[in-house]
Amino acid sequence: MASASATGHNVLLVSIVLLATVCACTAESPYAAGLSEDYYQKTCPQAASIVDAYVTKFLSKDRNFAGAFNRLQFHDCWVGGCDGSVLLNSTTTNQAEREAHVNFGLRGVAEVDEIKAALERVCPGVVSCADILILAARDATAKVGGPTWSVALGRRDGVNSTALMADTNLPFPVLNFSGLVANFAAKGFGAREMITLSGAHTIGRTHCNGILPHLYNFTGKDDATDTNPAMDKNFAVFLKKHCPQGNTTNTIFIDSTANTFDRAYYKNVLQGKGIFITDAALITNPVGKKIVTKFSKPGKSFFTEFAAGMVKMGNLGVLTNTEGEIRRTCQFVN
């Protein structure tokens, strides 16, 4: 017979195990209801590997496409939720999100459709365009030196897409610090998360239309001398060579190492070399400047927090179960 002390010890161990089990079962999931990491395990187990292979293919041709895939996730999720609506074409009676001013020069739509076509050949009617966007953004980020993160799947595709919704929800590149904070707060993100996700500007390129207000119309004068005085003067000269006044279509890399996900973006911002007014705005607030300074230095904080921000963004307004549809092609509703 076990001694009283041994019995008590065993009871204590069982209690600890039970408590741990309860805590594990009731721990809050980082994912929206209806999403799971193994969602396609039975219906299309090769889904993630197919997306990964195509992202590798696209980046081998143009490594800068990593920025395009990141932008697609943000521009999709911020407008009515992560439902693939940013991919939809306009119709004769509706201007879709892609026609919005804030979506000027959006890249990657045709590439997502190519991935979708490959998935349809293997698993027809199973994998949503919304999930493809989430996977592609994660894979592309990791392949150019950034962090990776676990992705929950199970989103379905929306059927509504309007330019007005995009221009109303997405932050324009002329917002000041308080404007950015308010825009992100409306989606449930704090100021630190806003600064973290702004770090996506470490990869990719932009058309000049988003830069012109920073160079020629900072105070509303609209002339060649109306440049943000906080911008590094040599950098301003460089930008004006690539983006002459009135030219909206030329393209330019967003940061000095635009094909690599790193901390250069934050270093550039501190040096007065932010491409957009929104970049420069991050250090106009003392708290913002402190965070930018922290992220500009070696350490895991930026990468860890960026991954967490992308996971959180991927939960916005998701459609699951019988909501929405699984599009056959990403640019058209069924």
Catalytic center residues: 75
Q: Is 79 annotated as a binding residue?
A: yes
Q: Residue 205's beta-bridge partner residues?
A: 253
Q: Is 257 annotated as a binding residue?
A: yes
Q: Is 83 annotated as a binding residue?
A: yes
Q: Is 97 annotated as a binding residue?
A: yes
Q: Is 113 annotated as a binding residue?
A: no
CA distance 110 to 246: 28
Provide the CA 237 distance to its chain's centre, in angstroms.
30
Spell out where the chain has E strands: 205-207, 251-253
* Residue-by-residue DSSP string for 83-130: SSGGGPPPBTTB--GGGSGGGTT---HHHHHHHHHHHHHHSTTTS-HH
In 3D, which of 188, 174, 178, 205 has the Cα closest to residue 81?
Answer: 188
Q: Is 81 annotated as a binding residue?
A: yes
Tell me the residue type at 67.
Answer: G
CA distance 143 to 137: 10
Q: Is 202 annotated as a binding residue?
A: yes
Q: Is 226 annotated as a binding residue?
A: no
Q: Is 85 annotated as a binding residue?
A: yes
Binding-site annotation: residue ranges for Ca(2+): 76, 79, 81, 83, 85, 97, 202, 255, 257, 262
Binding-site annotation: residue ranges: 76, 79, 81, 83, 85, 97, 171, 201-202, 255, 257, 262
Binding-site annotation: residue ranges for heme b: 201
